[in-house]
Amino acid sequence: MPPTLQALALVGLGGAAGSIARYLLATWTMHAATPQKFPLGTFVVNLAGCLVAGLLAGLAERHPGWLSPDLRLLLFVGLLGGFTTFSAFGLETAQLLRRGEWLVATGYVGGSVLLGIGAVWLGLRLVGKA
Q: Which helix (H) or strand (E) holds 50?
A: helix 40-62
Q: Is 67 helix (H, G, I), strand (E, B) or coil?
A: coil
Burial (CB count <10 Å: 0-12, 13-18, 19+), residue 47: middle
Q: Which residues of 110-121 are buried (b: 16+ CB within 10 A; e: fewer)?
A: eeeeeeeeeeee
Q: Has 81 been labeled as part of a binding site?
A: yes
- Work out the angle between the directed axes of helices 86-98 and 102-126 (0-180°, nearest 10): 160
Q: Is 12 annotated as a binding residue?
A: no
Return the axis-axis angle of helices 40-62 and 5-32, rounded to nearest 10°.
130
Q: Which residues are annotated as a binding site?
A: 81, 84
Q: Which residues are annotated as a binding site for Na(+)?
A: 81, 84
